[in-house]
Chain A
Amino acid sequence: MRHRRRLRSRFLSGVHERAVHSRYAYTVALSNPPSPSVWDYAPAPESFRPPIAGEHGLFINGAFIKPRSGKCMKVINPANEETLTRVAEAGKADVAAAVEAATKAQRKWSRLAGRERAKYLFRIARRLQERAREFAVLESLNNGKPIKESRDADVPESAKHFFHHAGWCDKLQYAIPGGGDAKPVGVCGQIIPWNFPLMMAAWKIAPALACGNTCVLKPAETTPLTALRLAEIFQEIDLPPGVVNILTGGPDTGKLIASHAGFDKIAFTGSTEVGKAIMKACAARPIRLTMELGGKGAHIIFADSAIDQAVEGAIQGIFFNQGQVCCAGSRLLIEESISDEFRSKLLHRMSQLRIGDPMDKNTDVGAINSATQRDQIHRYVEIARKEGAEVLESGCGTIPTKGFWCKPTALGGVQPSHTVAREEIFGPVVALMTFRTVDEAIARANDSVYGLSAGIWTEKSSKMFEVARRLRAGVIWCNGFNLFDAASPFGGVKESGFGREGGRHGLFEYLAH
């Protein structure tokens, strides 16, 4: 008992020292080496390594086949730059074969009674739950995200998405008011990003299949491994061949998919720039589109918020998945009367984030997914510096010598006209800005070409709902951030795209009505 008390007092004094220390540590020079912290943890590595084949084919018509293109590409671990495996790079003939398989499968799949389709989706959900650890490790190896995120968020959310949509298969006639004869759209081309490789695959495939569509899915160039492993589950549970086809490849493969005449729909998640290019590539044909694009999420902290929770929310909002999140809260709008206090608490909390090995269960911030992305983030930080912002890098730990890394960074004194307040950085970099009135906060939040997400922190709920009403964004989080659920529609307005994923509204995208 006494021993425990002693530990506790040391714990408390440690926090106190740290808080005093941080007062000037950040404002003076963040490049100083960080002092030894009471928060030092022993390494807690995830030791399980799923076997990874040396080569991966394309998944077409229920089988893994060698690409007709004859091309393949390397897949690396962004945390140490080691090669994990090689995957095929689908060419024109491969895309054609996948579209043909999906087209052939579509008739039968859509005519299968909803209750029978449902059972396939339930099976996928169950297998994903049962193989969760394998998928989590694979995701972290390939993406660089901390194992605790892939384990607690990506993989369970993906399984939930299949489970939720399994339940929709036999209820489609009730999902849309007046939609008694709901029909599938047809054959869907789906192109997904590298930030949530498995979860994005689930978000695309589950609703499409539930509504009776068939798919050709292209995972991102750098992160194809969990989608390919998902294809193994499709084989395992006897999903009819051709219902889902998975084509790995780079931007060229993406272009081939976007411009192939065999698709009834293209669903894309990625940057606004590429989204616009895809819309133009599809312009000649009357096909359905879903676009889930970039964002510059405004995260509004009112003076009457519960400040410690708001700090935690701000941290999660921008550093979750290394900030490589389209709905990240990358613009922190802080009410002026609390801005000094909030800033100091935010920076203190940033200093406690553990950056490093994604496979360590204690890691908060993992690797950036690619060198290209890392360079883009660093470029934006340089632009911020040149335009007059104060760059406040977190002193958390030392970053590994190999792999791609960015320290959590806050940018002080950012003006609405600054590049970093307007463009999406897609990294662990948050712009700090202040406001004085509610109207100013709303005006600033809405001053963006994007409109994907926004956050509001206040203990006054009448204000919360009124501000939520006036914000132009597809998803508004109140006293929380980065919340996702298969039952909750997600998607943006303005140049963040259109269409919703998840919930009843997500079904509208995959039904002809």
Chain B
Amino acid sequence: MSETKNERVTVLKTHKLFIKGAYPRGESGRTHALRDAEGGLLAHLCTGSRKDTREAVEAARAALPGWSSATPFLRGQILYRLAEMLESRAMEIQSAIQETTGRSAKKARAEVSAGIDRIVCFAGWSDKIASMLGNQNPVAQPFYNFTTPEPVGTIGVISPETPSFLGFLSLWLPAVCAGNTVVCMASETWPLPALLVAESMPNSDLPAGVFNLITGLRKELLPVFASHRDLDGLIACADTKESVGLRELSADNLKRLRLIAPDSDFECDRTWEGPTSFRGSVEYKTVWHPMSVE
């Protein structure tokens, strides 16, 4: 019996969520298909639910005391390690961008480079936030008065649909750099680069729970993120209509809300790598301390 020459059938992967340093399948058991730019089946994705998000927030809350009190130097070291890890996966991320979005190789490569460089940039930010955003206040009383930036706490992050790698990184990096813990929702349409980042997380020494990733549907998850009472902040890329809903729901627990327009230029270094990138990621604490020899 003669065998026909077979074309190799690929191993079809189902990408899982990333919660508390582990990769669970969604609690609801729902999945949806990830297709390439031509409509071919690439993989399956877990459709994250309200309960998945809750578990991710719990993990973020539990990781907060450790991460927010880690020295800024250590946080920088860990982010730099993440850049080291991703540099060696650059090709993989590039082809993920190409396959899913149909972007040219050149553009995809440029996005990967800009993204990894942005991680390096924030590796260098962690021990400079306080010297840049904090200061001594010259009060007219015998007090030593100073203001220091502190992390907001647990922050929900809604990634832009595109650029699926650079845009995703730009939103959560400042938050994690400043000592917050995050629950991220990946780009609904093109989540693959974000999932690859999540796969590198455990190897970058980032403690479990500091970064959590949910894939799923915006219309389901946006209200869940905005109304979750244990998220202290929300950094969300949302259109005008979505933003109205996010503002309304966020008011319930005075969630710090930073809204970003979907057409924002994520390649702009000044906006996304400068001191203002920490908007939504820091609170300010002022301490009055007496000065007297009496």
A residues neighboring B (CB under 8 Å): 115, 118-119, 122, 160, 163-164, 166-171, 174-175, 438, 461-463, 465-467, 469, 486-487, 503-504
Contacts and interface: CB of A to CB of B under 8 A. Distances in A.
Given A115-B117, A174-B274, A167 B76 contact: yes
Contact of B124 (A169, A461, A465): A169
B40 to A, nearest CB: 36
B98 interface: no
Nearest to A129: B77
Contacts of A438: 293
Interface in B232-254: none
Nearest to A503: B131
Contacts of B293: 438, 462-463, 466-467
Nearest to A470: B293
Given A115-B117, A118-B124, A163-B77, A487 B131 contact: yes
A166 B142 CA distance: 38
B281 to A, nearest CB: 16
A461 B123 contact: no
Contacts of A467: 293
Nearest to B132: A174
B120 A504 contact: no
A438 B77 CA distance: 43
Contacts of A175: 132
Contacts of B117: 115
B192 interface: no
A149 B10 CA distance: 57
A461 B120 contact: no
A160 B73 contact: yes
A167 B127 contact: yes
19 contacts: A122-B123, A160-B73, A167-B121, A167-B124, A167-B126, A170-B121, A171-B124, A461-B290, A462-B292, A463-B293, A465-B144, A465-B289, A465-B290, A465-B291, A466-B142, A486-B127, A487-B128, A487-B131, A504-B131
A164 B274 CA distance: 17
Interface string B141-157: 01010000000000000
B128 A504 contact: yes
Nearest to A166: B124
Given A465-B290, A486-B127, A487-B127, 18 more contacts: A118-B121, A122-B80, A122-B123, A160-B73, A163-B73, A163-B80, A167-B123, A170-B121, A174-B132, A438-B293, A462-B291, A462-B292, A463-B293, A465-B144, A465-B291, A466-B142, A467-B293, A504-B128
A-B CB proximity, top 9 nearest: A167-B124, A462-B290, A466-B291, A465-B291, A438-B293, A504-B131, A462-B292, A465-B144, A487-B127
Contacts of A461: 289-290
B211 interface: no
B99 interface: no
A122 B124 CA distance: 9
A141 to B, nearest CB: 28
A167 B128 contact: yes
A118 B120 contact: yes
A322 B73 CA distance: 29
Interface string B256-294: 000000000000010001110000000000000111111
Nearest to B131: A504
B168 interface: no
A438 B289 CA distance: 19
A122 B120 contact: yes
B125 interface: yes
A26 to B, nearest CB: 33
Contacts of B294: 462
Nearest to A122: B80
Contacts of A174: 132, 274-275
A118 B79 CA distance: 14
B148 to A, nearest CB: 13
A180 to B, nearest CB: 10
Contacts of B121: 115, 118, 167, 170-171
A118 B72 CA distance: 18
- Find the residue from A115, A175, A469, A486 having the highest chain B CB count within 10 A: A115
Given A163-B73, A461-B289, A467-B293, A170 B124 contact: yes
B291 A469 contact: yes
A185 B289 CA distance: 39
Given A163-B73, A174-B275, A504-B131, A119 B120 contact: yes
Contacts of A166: 124
B273 A170 contact: yes
